[in-house]
Amino acid sequence: MFKTHRTMLLLAFALAGCTVHPVGERQERALSDNAGAAYQQPVDKRELPALAPDASPDQLVAYALLSSGDIEQAYWQWRSALEQVPQEGTQKANVMLSYSAMISNGETALEMNTLGLGNDTMNNIMLPDKLRTAATAALDNARAAGIRFDKARFELRAKVLAACGDYAQSAENIRLDQANIDLLDLIQRLTQSRLSTGAAAQADVLRASNERDMAKNELAAEQAKLPQELAAINALMNRPADAPLAPPAALPKLQALPGDGADLLALAAKNNPELQALAAEAASKRISVIRAKQDYWPDFSINATSDLAGTTQSLMGSLALPYLRYQALDAAIRQARADLHASVAMRRQTASDLSARVMSDLAQIHDADRQIDLFENTLLPRAREIVAGLQRTYTAGQSSMLDLLDAQRSQIALRRMLADLRTTREKQRADLEAAAGLGMARRATDTVGN
């Protein structure tokens, strides 16, 4: 009887603890633990970095990465995908404990009572290789979710930098408008002075007043953009819409590109998170083809019983042969192959789209650099000389006010165009870095492997 009970206990432990963990699962869990330490606390209890009113764009990015709901959602989707791995690697069958008693004339005896142990009748026991294959496919899907967590981080960085660029450009436009108003105030005073001496007409005074009022209107319109752009930045950082953040005192310095042409294409092909995620998904689908073929392998059931007196024992096993399901299994294999072909095609197209995106960003950045150089070193210095010269000749009564106003409008327009070029250039650079997986650290990888 002792041997029988020992056999039944061993069977119970085998059925209850049959979970296969694929190679790499422990490492992926360690990566997830390291990346998600900040998300273990609710956001209202999370330790977030203090933000000064004049925080830099990089500081705003660091804050956003810890507080953004989109990033946290991507993280928990990663964790959810990881928890699918042990589910796929675990037997679906439950341990079934059964008891039966035979009662004769209202009486029973130990030898008339039996205890049974085996798997439940609804699920057969699967071979370990089937579990390992399914768990490995789930692990590749979890890796893809982890890589998309990286993708979300890079995309958030690009969005924060773009929003900060818009905020800085509006602040620059406000400074330009204020400088324009100051000059128009001076022109109006000069015109009023010349009117008193008969050197100017009343129409000149009215024209100068209109120009100043229009400039004030443009200033007010630019100032109205600031709360909207501040709200957009705060939304990315999951802060109240009116949380204070001072407009930058100047446009940010232009940053150098991390490479050029073939270098950036190679970096993007190697580091782009979406390409890496699609590669992991394709690996999962390749394994899914193998798993679909394994459904031709039989599953089995086992059941052991013993009477309570230990006199009679029985051991019964059965194989589940998928003979009648061969058309469905063939279709499942074809479906898995079709999913694999679709995934490979998507990755190939994504790689082509990525190359076009990198080259487009590069072309726009190079063109912006060319124009910025033209504006800063040729057009604007020339426009300043024209305005200064006309201001002197107008004061001396040797040029008309219309010439001075036209020259001032031209200078302001050039400075606005330069600010727009600089902002657009930095947005394209941020997009380029996101495409190439550059600009900030990836998930920590210094963890112990499985």
Q: What pLDDT score was predicted for residue 14?
A: 58
Q: What pLDDT score was predicted for residue 2?
A: 46
* Dist CA 75 CA 40 (whole Å): 11
Structure tokens given for 215: 């400039």
Residue 301, in any domain of the structure: yes
How many domains does the structure of the chain reveal?
1
Residue 441, in any domain of the structure: no
Residue 261, in any domain of the structure: yes
Q: What pLDDT score was predicted for residue 449?
A: 36
Residue 449, in any domain of the structure: no
* Dist CA 400 CA 276 (whole Å): 65
Residue 446, in any domain of the structure: no
Find the distance separating the first CA and the last CA of the chain, reported in whole Å: 41
Q: What pLDDT score was predicted for residue 11?
A: 54
Sheet of 313-320, strand order: 95-101, 113-119, 299-307, 313-320
Residue 440, in any domain of the structure: no
Q: What pLDDT score was predicted for residue 450?
A: 37
Per-residue pLDDT of the chain (450 residues; tens, 9 = 90+): 445 555 555 554 555 457 899 999 999 999 999 999 889 888 888 888 889 888 999 999 999 999 999 999 999 999 999 999 999 999 988 888 889 988 888 878 888 889 988 888 888 888 889 999 999 999 999 999 999 999 999 999 999 999 999 999 999 999 999 988 988 888 888 788 777 777 667 887 788 889 889 989 999 999 999 999 999 999 999 999 999 999 999 998 999 988 888 899 999 999 999 999 999 999 999 999 999 999 999 998 888 888 888 888 888 888 888 888 999 999 999 999 999 999 999 999 999 999 999 999 999 999 999 999 999 999 999 999 999 999 888 888 888 877 888 898 899 999 999 999 999 999 999 999 999 999 888 765 433 333
Structure tokens given for 420: 């727009």
Q: What is the largest CA-CA distance in the chain?
A: 136
Residue whose token pair is 């999913």: 339
The torsion angles phi and psi of 21, rounded to 5 degrees, stand at -110, 115
The answer to whether the CB of 448 falls within 8 A of the CB of 26 is yes
Q: What's this model's pTM, rounded to 2 decimal places? A: 0.86
- Close Cβ partners of 133 (under 8 Å, ≥ 6 residues apart): 287, 290, 291, 294
* Dist CA 105 CA 107 (whole Å): 6
Residue 448, in any domain of the structure: no
CATH code where residue 327 lies: 1.20.1600.10
Give the residue numbers spanning the domain of 348.
Answer: 2-435
The torsion angles phi and psi of 444, rounded to 5 degrees, stand at -60, 140
CA–CA distance from 112 to each of 90, 101, 116, 316, 445 (Å)?
A: 36, 6, 13, 19, 62
Q: How far is CA 185 from the centre of its chain?
A: 49
* Dist CA 334 CA 354 (whole Å): 30
Residue 163, in any domain of the structure: yes
- Amino acid at position 267, single letter: L
Structure tokens given for 22: 């694929």
